[in-house]
Structure 1
Amino acid sequence: MVTRRTPLPGVGTQYDVATRDGRHISVVAHEDGRRFVSFFAPEDPDACACTVPLEPEEAARLASVMAPERAEAGLGVAELGIDLVTERIPIEPDSPYRGRPMGDTKARTRTGASIVAVLRRTGAHPSPGPDFRLEAGDTLLVVGTREGVDDLADIVAGV
């Protein structure tokens, strides 16, 4: 089985899988968490036979069904009754936090969500401190409850 990973700037990443029997499956993982799974005709690996769009929750459920041993070996968050999400939040040019230190967002205090990394064209910045300056085009990698992450997205957008 062969897997090829192709970055899609501004969109996400495409993963192409060729199975041992010659079938071609493609997954496009969008930056916003959506996934598109495409199946290609065995007789023509360039002809898409079907595409299935999946929302983030649907993709996570499918992944847990496809590889339950990995889901069971995870952090056990579901067992504790805590629903955590991981999401990417862009810093738009009109964000009130563009050019300001990340600590000005008071993200964890106001929302309970944590900014675990800042993704920038020049590279990833894991565990950024409060003095890390945000720039337009940055993407925040955030972990928290659904409500906390949504609230943080609103704060960063200036809503």
Structure 2
Amino acid sequence: MGKATETDLPGVGVRFELETNAGRCVGVVVHQTGRRDLVVYDERDVDRACESVVLTEDEGHTLGELLGGNPVLEHLDDAVHRLEDLVISWITIDPKSSLAGLTLAEAELRAKTGAGVVALVTDSGSIPIPGGADRLEPGGTAVVVGVPAAVKAATNLLNESG
């Protein structure tokens, strides 16, 4: 696997670079405007771009999908990030779950588990910081935050058959 790096570019955005196993360096500059620059660096001078292609945000997403998509999104069920005692987990809502189709208020997930839903993601889009009237769509994804035991309990509720 190649070596990837990320560099903040103040006032511009972020530069991501990948040094391939073959020793080539390619990168993407993600501008604050959403524009992406796909860059191929010179083999002899990695600070010199020998080719650059400007992409719109949508074109960048399409190219990402063509290249295999985002590994985090490919493994939503397994994606768990730890920050000290805080766990963030992307949980696919089992269509057979007793909570599938309920609103967050009806599901009472926070009251039952102590974990909070900070976003909902479905095929039709995402809802950051959802309210009580937003639904746990069957097959959708709930982004859940809490201590490990709370997130595990929420995962179990969202995956158990009713």
Using structure 1 for the length normalisation, give the TM-score. Answer: 0.53
For the aligned residue pairs, the C-alpha RMSD in angstroms reads 3.1
Which ranges in structure 1 are unaligned for 5 or more consecutive residues?
4-15, 35-55, 61-76
**Whole-Å separation in 2 of the counterparts to 1:31 and 1:99:** 20
Contact 2:136 2:142 survives alignment (8 Å) = no
Partner of 1:19: 19
Partner of 2:77: 32
**Whole-Å separation in 1 of the counterparts to 2:86 and 2:153:** 14
**Whole-Å separation in 1 of the counterparts to 2:117 and 2:143:** 6
**Whole-Å separation in 2 of the counterparts to 1:134 and 1:148:** 18
1:25-45: CA deviation from partner (whole Å, max 9, x where unpaired): x983321345xxxxxxxxxxx
**Whole-Å separation in 2 of the counterparts to 1:128 and 1:158:** 22
Contact 1:105 1:156 survives alignment (8 Å) = no
Q: Letter of the aligned partner of 1:139 in structure 2?
A: T
Matched, 1:149 2:151: yes
The CA deviation at 1:22 is 0.8
Q: Letter of the aligned partner of 2:89 in structure 1?
A: E
1:29-85: CA deviation from partner (whole Å, max 9, x where unpaired): 321345xxxxxxxxxxxxxxxxxxxxx57xx6xxxxxxxxxxxxxxxx63xxxx111
User: Structure 1 residue aligned with 2:93, among 79, 82, 91?
Assistant: 91
**Whole-Å separation in 2 of the counterparts to 1:155 and 1:33:** 16
Q: Letter of the aligned partner of 2:98 in structure 1?
A: P
Partner of 1:9: none
Contact 1:105 1:155 survives alignment (8 Å) = no
Structure 2 CA distance for partners of 1:28 and 1:98, relative to 1, 3 Å: closer
Partner of 2:105: 103
The CA deviation at 1:17 is 5.1
Q: Letter of the aligned partner of 1:114 in structure 2?
A: G
Partner of 1:39: none
Structure number with greater Rg is: 2
**Whole-Å separation in 1 of the counterparts to 2:105 and 2:118:** 13
Q: Letter of the aligned partner of 2:117 in structure 1?
A: I
Q: Secondary structure at the match of 1:148?
A: helix
Which ranges in structure 2 are unaligned for 5 or more consecutive residues?
5-15, 27-67
Using structure 2 for the length normalisation, give the TM-score. Answer: 0.52
Equivalent pairs, count: 102
Matches within 5 A, 1:8-87: 18-19=18-19, 21-22=23-24, 28-29=71-72, 30-33=75-78, 56=80, 78=84, 83-87=85-89
Contact 2:103 2:134 survives alignment (8 Å) = yes
**Percent identical residues:** 29
**Whole-Å separation in 1 of the counterparts to 2:150 and 2:87:** 9
User: Structure 2 residue aligned with 1:137, among 126, 136, 139?
Assistant: 139
